[in-house]
Amino acid sequence: LLYIATYAHGLVYYDIQTKKLQELTGYKTREYAFYLDGLGLFDNKLYGVYNGDSTNQKNGTIYYTLSQDGRSITDEYVLQQGHQSMKEPTTLAIGNGVLYLLANSHLAIYNANKESLNGVSTGLQPVTILAYDLKR
Phi/psi of residue 106, each to 5°? 60, 25
* pLDDT tens digits, one per residue of 41-90: 999 999 999 998 888 899 999 999 999 999 999 999 999 999 999 988 99
| Whether the predicted pLDDT of 111 surpasses 90 | no
Q: Give the start-to-end residue ranges of the domains of the chain.
A: 2-133
Determine the Cα–Cα distance for residues 20 and 71; give it in Å rounded to an integer: 12
- What is the fold, at CATH topology level, of the domain defined by 2-133? Neuraminidase (2.120.10)
| Whether the predicted pLDDT of 136 surpasses 90 | no
Q: What is the pTM of this model?
A: 0.91
Q: How many Cβ atoms sit within 10 Å of the Cβ of residue 124? A: 13
* pLDDT tens digits, one per residue of 53-67: 888 899 999 999 999
